[in-house]
Amino acid sequence: MRSSGFVLLNKPAGVTSFNALSPLKKIFKTRRIGHAGTLDLRAFGLIVAGVERSTRLLPYVESASKTYTFRLHLGYLTDTLEWDGELIEQGDALSISASDLEAVLPQFRGDIEQIPPNYSAIKIKGIRASDLSLQGKEFELKSRPISIYELKVIGKGVSPEDSTGVAFASFDLECHCSKGTYIRSLCRDIAAALGTFGTVSHICRKKIGSISLSDAVLPEDLSVESILSPDKVLPFPILALSAAEAIPIRNGNWIPWKGLVENVLPPENLVFASNETGEIISLCRFEPGRLIPKFFIGSDE
């Protein structure tokens, strides 16, 4: 069995998430590589990759909240909602200050509805919305519920030199949000609340749950030492098993558990089980009096 665990990757702008992960296949000599949450081509920042059996844990990573920084450009709209997309609308110059922007942000905090961008990976009858857009097909995406826990202005920005439209104001913002939030759509909607059009640049994912970009590694710096044990990424309690207890868990059978378990997270009450050497071997569900394995993630004996 090859190494199993997580790798924290710092994806550069201009590289697809798929290509950024490709060095992992060579380093760990496996094709079993996955990741939690794709970043757009022009976006950069944190990606959590799973190696070998730990790919089964990725849905628990992906469900965590995300924190982004980004630059909002006011004054024009593009087909991709990014600064260099095909120009759709060019608005008139308006005088919008940081305080004007702050005044509309409260309506975007909390539980809201959001329509995803047409250029997205959302599938319509099995076809990606982005592919339909490239084909010139007409379609409509429905709004989806999202949660924005924090949204604030962190400074003023400038428009990139290769912008396809003219921005009369640019601001840097930070957003802490739920899974499924599109920053491009958020910029579009904030601009509309200000009576104009909006695009985005410099999207950076800073955090996934409690995992920070500062702990991530650039693709060119990846090595076998970059892999982390699953408990370094997911906050589940660890139950240390004896050699005798590990055998049935490895085989998919539950075991009696009389000890206390602290900090279990409802509704599933998930915990990691480790063997005598401290290796995480299984994700389990704790019930009073017993430990039930969900799936095995340890190495082969």
Neighbours of 59 (CB within 10 A): 11
Residue 40 is a catalytic residue: yes
Q: Are 11 and 18 in contact (CB under 8 A)?
A: no
Looking at 40, 92, 215, 231, which residue is catalytic?
40
Q: What is the structure's pLDDT at 2?
A: 55
Tens of pLDDT along 79-89? 999 999 999 99
Rounded to an integer, what distance in angstroms lies between the CA atom of residue 201 and that of residue 82?
6
All residues at 6 or more sequence positions from 29 whose CB lies less than 8 Å from its CB, including other chains: 2
All residues at 6 or more sequence positions from 135 whose CB lies less than 8 Å from its CB, including other chains: none
Q: What is the structure's pLDDT at 301?
A: 61
Rounded to an integer, what distance in angstroms lies between the CA atom of residue 283 and that of residue 210?
19
The model's pTM is: 0.92
Q: Which domains does the chain have, with CATH numbers?
A: 5-63+209-230 (3.30.2350.10), 66-207 (3.30.2350.10), 238-296 (2.30.130.10)
Q: What is the structure's pLDDT at 212?
A: 97
CA dihedral over 150, 154, 157, 162, signed as positive or negative? negative
Q: What percent of the chain has pLDDT over 70?
A: 98
Give how far Cα 264 sits from Cα of 63, 217, 237, 270, 282, Å: 17, 30, 7, 6, 15
Residue numbers of the chain with a pLDDT score lower than 70: 1-2, 265, 301
| Pairing, β 123-124 against β 280-287 | unpaired
Amino acid residing at 94 = L
